[in-house]
Amino acid sequence: MPYAQSVPGFDLEAVPEGLVLRSRSGSAEHHLDRTSGLIYAFCDGRTATREIARHLRLILPESPPSGQDVARIIKDLQALGIVEVTPSASAA
């Protein structure tokens, strides 16, 4: 069961469309839509992808992403370098 952990070094700004992440070094800025921003917020290293999908069904009952969508978005966040994925939960 994969677990995603947000990478340190980013400042977050909530905007009506979702989240803006800015690297503290000033080298990157990422705009996340509402769903991606919510998924990012759950990337604590202790919440499994499957659990994130379950939480989003409660938060977004009108249009919850599927488990496959959550996994794809986490892979996209990983490709951006803002989350790391591990096979087991972090101890933190």
Between 32 and 92, residue with greater pLDDT: 32
- Close Cβ partners of 71 (under 8 Å, ≥ 6 residues apart): 2, 49
pTM given for the model:
0.91
Domain extent listing, the chain: 3-86
d(CA 76, CA 82): 9
- Close Cβ partners of 39 (under 8 Å, ≥ 6 residues apart): 52, 56, 65, 70, 73, 74, 77
The 10s digit of each residue's pLDDT in 21-68 is 999 999 999 999 999 999 999 999 999 999 999 999 999 999 999 999
The answer, yes or no, to whether residue 88 has pLDDT greater than 90, is: no
Q: Quick one: residue 82, left, alpha or beta (phi over 0 = left, psi -120 to 50 = alpha)?
A: alpha
Give the per-residue pLDDT at 92. 58
CATH of 3-86, one of 3.60.15.10, 3.10.20.600, 3.90.930.60, 3.30.450.40: 3.90.930.60
Give the per-residue pLDDT at 90. 75
